[in-house]
Structure 1
Amino acid sequence: MTDISEATLDDLPRIQVLARDIWPECFAGILPPERIEPMVEAIYALDTLRDDVQMRGHRYWLAQADGRDAGYVSAYQEGARLWLKKLYLHRACRGRGTGKALIDTILNAFPDARELALYVNDGNAPAIAFYHAQGFEIEATVPVRMGPFDFTDHIMRKAL
């Protein structure tokens, strides 16, 4: 059974731990291994996560399966567009409906959004396939900079 609850500032270290666990296997073969840890440390620094919430309007949710942290999602709204910022699950929890449940959670939390959009690394075929299955389409392919790291991402969107 999966439980989803909105994260508080006190829960941000749990999200940091999840990112440290999930990113290496999620991005294996997509990003060079030596880039993954520095990226996680930069993107998931507690000060950065707090600023996401307190200054940038991001909201986070934690998913638990069988009483253990299984993954997380974050989102924020800009006008009519809801941005799904982060969605990560432990491998064992994928394919069980948890990702879809996390998307439904953010949609319910932002009921006036008219479209849902996200960035996804253009080499992340499993994530792209998941988002296609959820009704997303590629809107654009763009260069992205995260801290000192450069990527190419797809912006995917779907109307609500």
Structure 2
Amino acid sequence: MANADITQIDAAGLNRVRDLALIIWPAHYAPLIGADLIPPMVADMYSLNTLGADMRERGHLYWIASVDGKDIGYASAYLKDGRLWIKKLYLLPSVRGMGLGKQLIATIRDHYGRQHPQALYVSDRNETAIAFYKSQGFTVESLEPVQMGPYHFEDYVMVRPGEIALP
């Protein structure tokens, strides 16, 4: 298991998230949704304006994971309706399977408090991510239609209960 330095970033660091997305998305999603869809989706979802609006208007917080000074992944999360929503959780292909996704989730949970139930969206085609989230105690709650720009997909909403604080 690798150990990453995980740092919460402000708006000035969002270019690091965008730069990682430009590498991670084509590598991971091309086989799932087609390479032709990736550039416009990433351009829209990972523009600095969109990421900044996530922070300013929707209350998202962002973290960057680094190993030996090199950025290797990112995550974002927010609280809504009593749930801790993990919005983004991505790692470079070269570091997957090293326990870093678990570290990112733990960092998010420690920041917000482990008592909150967690929820996230994951593509119904993303078998690798679904298996990872199941290994972390998430279960499928529902299948939801999702629209990203002009593109329509189906995502699972996966959930995990919060922890009960002991006296």
Range class of TM-score, shorter chain: over 0.9
Aligned to 2:165: none
**Unaligned 5+ residue runs, structure 2?**
163-167
Matched, 1:123 2:120: no
| Residue identity matched to 2:91 | L
C-alpha deviation, 1:112, in angstroms: 6.4
Instruction: Provide the aligned C-alpha RMSD in A.
Output: 1.0
1:4-34 per-position Cα deviation (integer Å, ceiling 9, x unaligned): 0001111001100000000011112101110
Task: Provide the C-alpha distance between the structure 2 equivalents of 1:23 and 1:11, rounded to a whole number of angstroms.
Answer: 19
C-alpha deviation, 1:80, in angstroms: 1.6
C-alpha deviation, 1:95, in angstroms: 1.0
The 5 A counterparts of 1:16-27 are: 16-27=18-29
Quick one: percent identity of the two aligned structures? 46
Contact kept, 8 Å, 1:80 with 1:113, in 2: the verdict is no
SS in 1 for 2:31: coil
Task: Provide the C-alpha distance between the structure 2 equivalents of 1:57 and 1:95, rounded to a whole number of angstroms.
Answer: 29
Task: Provide the C-alpha distance between the structure 1 equivalents of 2:157 and 2:44, rounded to a whole number of angstroms.
Answer: 22
> Which among 39, 42, 52 is matched to residue 40 of structure 1?
42
| Residue identity matched to 1:95 | G
Task: Provide the C-alpha distance between the structure 2 equivalents of 1:98 and 1:45, rounded to a whole number of angstroms.
Answer: 25
Contact kept, 8 Å, 1:23 with 1:36, in 2: the verdict is yes
1:98-122 per-position Cα deviation (integer Å, ceiling 9, x unaligned): 1000000110111165210000000
**Structure 1 moving runs of 4+ over 6 Å:** none
The 5 A counterparts of 1:69-80 are: 69-80=71-82
Contact kept, 8 Å, 1:65 with 1:93, in 2: the verdict is no
TM-score normalised over the length of structure 1 = 0.97
| Residue identity matched to 1:143 | P
Contact kept, 8 Å, 1:77 with 1:113, in 2: the verdict is no
Task: Provide the C-alpha distance between the structure 1 equivalents of 2:110 and 2:90, rounded to a whole number of angstroms.
Answer: 19
- Alpha carbons of structure 1 residues 125 and 112: separation in structure 2 relative to 1, 3 Å: closer
TM-score normalised over the length of structure 2 = 0.93
Task: Provide the C-alpha distance between the structure 2 equivalents of 1:79 and 1:152, rounded to a whole number of angstroms.
Answer: 22
Aligned to 1:83: 85
Aligned length: 160
Task: Provide the C-alpha distance between the structure 2 equivalents of 1:114 and 1:79, rounded to a whole number of angstroms.
Answer: 10
Task: Provide the C-alpha distance between the structure 2 equivalents of 1:46 and 1:56, rounded to a whole number of angstroms.
Answer: 14
C-alpha deviation, 1:60, in angstroms: 0.2
